[in-house]
Structure formats: structure tokens, C-alpha cells
Structure 1
Amino acid sequence: MTDTEKTYLYSIGRNIAKLRRQNKFSQLDVCAEIKMEKSNLSAIENGRQNASILTLKRIADAIGVEVQVFFDL
């Protein structure tokens, strides 16, 4: 993975974390809703894991946003 790709994943993850917090959800809240381990969500939010589009859709639905806002860099 290139540095540019790592930066991109990190930016998306930070957006997910920011939106999750703005909507008053903890990582545990989201994980319980979408049946995901907290460590996986943490890895996505910190740019260490490349999430599938379906996972991003599940996260977006759980926190009440549209998927595309994750990509607002």
C-alpha cells in the first residue's frame, strides 16, 4: 500500500470517527448494531483496515448518515 493510499484510508477513518461521535454513538454502540468486533471498527477508524463498501454502508446506517460523507476529504 502506498503512502497516499494509507493517508486516504486514515482520512476516511477519521471522518467515520468524527461523525460517529457527533451523532453521540460509542464504538460499542455501533459494533453492537452491526455485529462487528470493536477492534475492527477501531482499525477502520484509524486507517489500519480497508473496509468493504458493505461494511461502510452498515456503519453509515448505524450512525444515521449517508456513506458518501465518509469520503468528504
Structure 2
Amino acid sequence: MTVSEKKYLQKLGKRIAYLRRKQGFSQLDVCAEIKMEKSNLSAIENGRQNATTLTLKKIADAVGVEVQEFFAINISKTK
């Protein structure tokens, strides 16, 4: 994984965590709803794991947002 890819996943994960907390959900709340291990959600939110599109949809549905809201992040071109 390149440095820019890692930074992208970190920004995406922070956005997911932000929206989850904004909607009032804990990681455990979301994990119980979508049948996911807390460690996996934590890895996604910390940019250590690249989530599939279906996983992103499940998370979005669980917290009551649209998937595209996860991608409303400012990405600078870093190489």
C-alpha cells in the first residue's frame, strides 16, 4: 500500500467514525447491528483495513446515512 493510499484510508475511516458518533452510535452498536467484530470496525475507522463496498453500505445503513457521505473528505494529492 502506498503512502497516499494509506492516508486516504485514514481520512475515510475518520469520516466514518465521525458520522457514526454524530448519529449517536458506538462501535458496539454498529457491530451488533451488522454482525461485525468490533476489531474489524476499529481497523476500518483507523485506516488499517480497506472495507468492501457492501461493508460500507452496511455501516451506512446502521448509522442512518448514505454511503456517499463517507466520501465527503478533502483528499490532497500526496505521493
Percentage identity across paired residues of the two chains: 74
Alpha-carbon displacement from aligned partner over 1:11-59 (angstroms, at most 9, x marks no partner): 1100000000000000000000000000000000000000000000000
Corresponding residue for 1:25?
25
TM-score (norm 1): 0.99
Aligned length: 73
Over alpha carbons, which structure has the higher Rg?
A: 2
Corresponding residue for 2:16?
16
| Paired letter, 1:70 | F
Rounded Cα–Cα distance in structure 1 between residues aligned with 2:11 and 2:72: 9
Give the RMSD, CA atoms, in angstroms.
0.3
Query: Structure 1 regions of 5+ residues with no counterpart?
Result: none
